[in-house]
Amino acid sequence: QVQLVESGGGLVQPGGSLRLSCAVSGFKVSTSSLSWIRQAPGKGPEWVSSISISGIKTNNDFVKGRFTISRDGTKNTLTLQMDMLKPEDTALYYCAKGLGWNLISTGERTHWGQGTQVTVSS
């Protein structure tokens, strides 16, 4: 059974850091396309970053080098290191199996986690 469980969210001050993790079961992260997607209240989902056998792609419209996606094949986990956080980064962050921009365009949410809340505020 495919399961994705996010963790690591919380409340941080602007300029702070968080490391989000996604525990995956049912498939191997080392051979799968994976994404981080976020959604703020009242807004549509935004693709954050993706990793696949073709490499890493990131939404530079707002990330601007502040976030780093990675995976650990041994632990079968996906990670998002978030630095220099801004209030605008406040959202529910999801990990998902697939390429973020495709998942958003098709509306597919079958292989998304439950999300972990990130709140950036002073």
Q: Are 113 and 95 in contact (CB under 8 A)?
A: yes
Which pLDDT tens digit goes with each residue over 1-39?
Answer: 999 999 999 999 999 999 999 999 999 999 999 999 999
| The pair of three-digit structure tokens given for residue 11, joined into one six-digit string | 């409340």
Place of tokens 């956080």: 85
Residue 114 has pLDDT above 90, yes or no: yes
- pLDDT-derived band at 85 (thresholds 50, 70, 90) equals very high
Percent of residues, the chain, with pLDDT higher than 70: 100
Residue 101 has pLDDT above 90, yes or no: no
